[in-house]
Structure 1
Amino acid sequence: MASTYYIGQRLSSDSRPCTVRYIGEVQGTKGEWLGVEWDDPARGKHSGEHNGIRYFECKVPGAGSFIRPNRPYDRPNTFLEGLKEKYITNLEATGVPNPIVFGSKVAEEVGFEKVSRKFSELDTLTRVILDYMRIKTCDDDFEEISSTCANLQEVDLSCNLFEDLEQVARICTSLQKLHTLSINGNRLARHQVADPFTRGFSRIKTLRAEDLRLTWEELFRLVNSFPNVTDLSIAVGDLTKFSPTISPRVLDLQAANGLVSLCLEENAFECISDIADLQELPNLRRLLLARNRIKAVYSSTDHHQVGEKLRFSTITFLDISRNEVGDWTFLDDIRDSFPNLEALRISQNPLYGIDGNRNPSESAFQITVARLSRKVTSLDYSVIKPVERADAELFYISTILKELSENPAEQEAEILARHTRWPELQALHGEQTINRDLAKKSNDALASKLIETQVTYGSRTLTKKLPRTVTIGKLAGLIGRLFGANPLDIALYLVEEGIVGDNSTRETLLSDELRELDYYVTDVTAKLIVREK
């Protein structure tokens, strides 16, 4: 009967969880209905309306439907019932369940076929994944949980039927060694926890609270129940601002001073300045912002209004991949705003083109490396080698010189304003001469600085413009990377034609790694042959 149901109740039908939003009649039909919002919006038929009449609201448009109260529903579990069903019944019969998905993130379950062979030894488990196990409550016998799960350190309770956060707290209180908790994809309606059970949350160091469909105020209250969290993920939501004008502030969290890693992926931030409050977190090292809408460090309205530039002094790892960055000056602002950054992930942004991968080309990779601080030693999870950095900086210098040489002197300040690392690069690689007269005569503004070099290795030939000042050692490193060869295993030969007669050719081994290229080449073009030593 419909009377056994209530608004906010969590149900599961065919292993698909939903929340009751409406109980009653629907005009034009007979009998009572349950209006539900499915956790998976793809199962929905509408947003709570029928024939122009609104019956309930959905937090996600299109996630609602009407179902009959008398249809069969999955039986809810307690924590231990879900644990035993998963690790005794299900694994023994079917093996590892399917991966679970939050937004575009996939959490894979690995190695649990081994657990199925030891299903009678639940007290040996240190990590369990109990997603979609219809868990709604904690068992009454706390001691049974403690003895059954004596060594449990990590628990994933994602996508279950919890309505009250206190039920989660009761479970955590019973698990004496627990330090990592995932409650992703739950639809908690009540977030208060009675004092006797708050100690269960005080042991949690890593918290995954993704895709909870809560307002910021609700999410703050929930997260604030975990005072000692250092690794926090509140990804997959609609967060837009973490600034001093927003209340409550992230800085007000009990765990604020201890946060080391913060994941805000798949939210709705548009600029780094939208998370200005986070620069005041004293111990934050990792900041994950993938799959937001970020275009710039500063918005077009606040760039000139900020009294003090953003400065995330503690951040050493930043993930800004899969956003909407399309301007190279973004990297200059990142260099200034994250002065101690050591690793950056920035792939799959419009900055790198409109192809499906949006990964940096070779030249884009070089410009990216050259615009970043030398403290950055990892780009998109690849280590930046010293020779790669030197080559990148020389290439970037050549592009700036080209731009300066091809434009009038009165535009120099405007151009250099777009290349804010120019003074530092000049100090590192020597002061560069801008030869505009040469550009007018030859239409090649870099003729005095670059040598157009044809390089042949086996059956492959490439043409590159190389700075005259590049050393033979660095050149070997660059060529090795271009052809996928070990620089220590190759030798470079300069090929000169017509030295003695019209048909004569001379090859000169470039043996001195400390000599610059223009020691051997006096022309504006050169041919090199690469041979294995």
Structure 2
Amino acid sequence: MNSTLPSDVIGRRVEVNGEHATVRFSGIVPPVAGPWLGVEWDNPERGKHDGSHEGTVYFKCRHPTAGSFIRPNKVNFGVDFLTAIKNRYVLEDEPKEEQTEQIVIIGNKPVETIGFDSVIKQQSQLSKLQDVSLRNCAVNGAGDQGGIAKACPNIRSIDLSKNLLSSWEEVIDIANQLKHLEVLNLSENRLTFPSSSPSPTGAFSTLKVLVLNRTGITWAEVLCCASGWPVLEKLYLESNNIVISERPTDVLQTVKLLDLSSNQSIDENQLFLIAYLPRLEQLILSDIGISSIHFPDAGIGCKTSMFPSLQYLVLNDNRIAQWSFMNELDKLQSLHALSCTRNPLTEGSKDAQTTRQFIIARIGQLRTLNKCAVEPEERRGAELDYRKAFGNEWKKAGGHQDPEKNRPNEEFLAAHPRYQALCLTLKIKYPNQLDQKVIEKQLPESMTVQKVKGLLSRLLKVPVSELLLSYESPKMPGKEIELENDLQSLQFYSVENGDCLLVRW
């Protein structure tokens, strides 16, 4: 513990018996003599009051029981980065060697050294470090200027979570000395951040991954600091009570992954403020309390211009209870993977397999659901079961196998926007068999050419191997398109409702 107080003690992060706190007061607290520190605990249950004593307010806390008065000699103010590195890594797994004497020449004079081998070995160890973990090592700052750059020039990844860093400036002082830094984890450091964009320093010019979970950062502070992250690809902001207050315009344009989990104040309107980040591929929204979403720029069966690059969306532990949420997700242009476990929609009394099938059927481009691949055969089965489950409802709403009579009402289309696309009504002609009557068949768009041939083989009593398929569309009069790959689906060949299937043998 520290016997002397730092000059800038107010606002410093400290550790006491394993608990972390922030110093809010330093001075005398009558009637007890001697110096005291007033601290605000990270864990409000650890304290006894709100910073008041016998009617006098010495400091203020966000929670009525987060404050305590502590004697300075009970408080750990931590160590600098380089000291923590040496404590953690230097010769930690090797037995202590006996000190050896060595004669070296400095200038023209021989000088006797003790422990020279050990010093060389330590320097060699530190200079080779690339991935560093200093979690919960009481790091409070950079230390002597230039010391980190000299001792550990090759560090690329640092875990500095749960330390005693107090401000973003202290982080910059460390990062400024690490020219190859790509990954930085600052979780569980209660940092103060600048309210306006800090001057460019180049401290984070190579940084690709930044973890700021449980740091107390606000969205405005994220945008202020983000100008210093020119190549950032992954940003983690879990559990910060974030409210997305404005659209990022000139910042965060390189971010591919954004984690906003456990920020309970985020709603769909706030999400629209980040909807045009051009490279955003993964969005993690677990435990934000969301229950609905609607993309106002896209009607039924259309794609939204929002989240143009989004491929993977995580919605675990939310309040999603309506199928309309899944219908809206089908509007995302690039969505291929979805995780949505522990929601009322997926955890209700319904059979889990049926729920999975309905999600697959409603989101046409989905390739992975809850970390399990959606194989083509599963998709075909899911879409077939979906059509069967709501077929009667479709007919009652005005649906019909004849394209000219097929007019389901708006209520049905809003509840099942993909149903129409799953049911292709096709005319089937036989150009070489004029005595065969033209018929109409309803086929799922996901049905493969091979499956269509199998159906026609049974219908016509002709071996599959002898059948040749093509189709023509009213949109392209006079043009015939061959269905040459048996493993591809009708959708792959852009077969649409009302097209004509041509069968030869």
Q: Which residue of 2 aligns with 1:528?
A: none
Q: Which amino acid aligns with 2:373?
A: V
Taking the aligned partners of 2:398 and 2:197, their CA distance within structure 1 comes to 69
Q: Which amino acid aligns with 1:86?
A: R
Q: Which amino acid aligns with 1:330?
A: F
Asked if 1:400 is matched to 2:390, the reply is yes
Taking the aligned partners of 2:392 and 2:94, their CA distance within structure 1 comes to 68
- Answer yes or no: is the 8 Å Cα contact 1:207–1:231 preserved in 2: yes
Q: Deviations over 1:427-472 (max 9, x none)?
A: 3x879xxxxxxxxxxxxxxxxxxxxxxxxxxxxxxxxxxx9x999x
Match runs of 1:164-313 below 5 Å: 164-189=167-192, 191=194, 198-241=201-244, 246-247=245-246, 249-253=247-251, 256-298=252-294, 311-313=306-308
Taking the aligned partners of 1:55 and 1:516, their CA distance within structure 2 comes to 86
Q: Deviations over 1:344-381 (max 9, x none)?
A: 111111111258xxx970000000100102x2211111
Q: CA RMSD in A?
A: 4.1
Q: Which amino acid aligns with 1:314?
A: S
Taking the aligned partners of 2:204 and 2:280, their CA distance within structure 1 comes to 21
| 1:348 maps to which of 342, 345, 358 | 342
Match runs of 1:71-220 below 5 Å: 71-88=73-90, 121-142=125-146, 144-189=147-192, 191=194, 198-220=201-223
| 1:514 maps to which of 454, 459, 475 | 454
> Would the alpha carbon gap of residues 395 and 128 (structure 1) be closer, same or farther in structure 2, given more than 3 Å must change?
same
Q: Which residue of 1 aligns with 2:375?
A: 385
Deviation at 1:65, TM superposition (A): 2.4
Structure with larger Rg: 2
Taking the aligned partners of 1:2 and 1:122, their CA distance within structure 2 comes to 30
SS of residue matched to 1:224: helix
- Answer yes or no: is the 8 Å Cα contact 1:213–1:237 preserved in 2: yes
Taking the aligned partners of 2:197 and 2:394, their CA distance within structure 1 comes to 64
| 2:360 maps to which of 352, 357, 369 | 369
> Would the alpha carbon gap of residues 35 and 218 (structure 1) be closer, same or farther in structure 2, given more than 3 Å must change?
farther
> Would the alpha carbon gap of residues 408 and 257 (structure 1) be closer, same or farther in structure 2, given more than 3 Å must change?
closer
* 5+ residue gaps, structure 1: 94-117, 432-466, 475-511, 520-533
SS of residue matched to 2:342: coil
Deviation at 1:208, TM superposition (A): 1.2
Q: Deviations over 1:281-318 (max 9, x none)?
A: 1222111111211111149x9999xxx96621111111
Deviation at 1:225, TM superposition (A): 2.7
SS of residue matched to 1:202: coil
| 1:339 maps to which of 311, 328, 333 | 333
- Answer yes or no: is the 8 Å Cα contact 1:288–1:319 preserved in 2: yes
Q: Which amino acid aligns with 1:79?
A: F
Q: Which residue of 2 aligns with 1:414?
A: 411
Taking the aligned partners of 2:250 and 2:51, their CA distance within structure 1 comes to 36
Q: Which residue of 1 aligns with 2:312?
A: 317
- Answer yes or no: is the 8 Å Cα contact 1:470–1:516 preserved in 2: no
* 5+ residue gaps, structure 2: 96-121, 400-406, 428-443, 460-505
Deviation at 1:341, TM superposition (A): 0.7
- Answer yes or no: is the 8 Å Cα contact 1:238–1:268 preserved in 2: yes
Taking the aligned partners of 2:19 and 2:93, their CA distance within structure 1 comes to 19
Over the matched positions of the two proteins, sequence identity in percent amounts to 27
> Would the alpha carbon gap of residues 52 and 139 (structure 1) be closer, same or farther in structure 2, given more than 3 Å must change?
closer
- Answer yes or no: is the 8 Å Cα contact 1:152–1:175 preserved in 2: yes
Deviation at 1:148, TM superposition (A): 2.9
Q: Which amino acid aligns with 2:314?
A: D
Q: Which amino acid aligns with 2:285?
A: L
Taking the aligned partners of 2:422 and 2:56, their CA distance within structure 1 comes to 66
- Answer yes or no: is the 8 Å Cα contact 1:270–1:296 preserved in 2: no
Q: How many residues align?
A: 403
SS of residue matched to 1:325: coil
TM-score (norm 1): 0.65
Deviation at 1:324, TM superposition (A): 1.2
- Greater per-residue helix proportion: 1
Q: Deviations over 1:472-521 (max 9, x none)?
A: x99xxxxxxxxxxxxxxxxxxxxxxxxxxxxxxxxxxxxx99359998xx
> Would the alpha carbon gap of residues 84 and 395 (structure 1) be closer, same or farther in structure 2, given more than 3 Å must change?
same
Deviation at 1:119, TM superposition (A): 11
TM-score (norm 2): 0.68
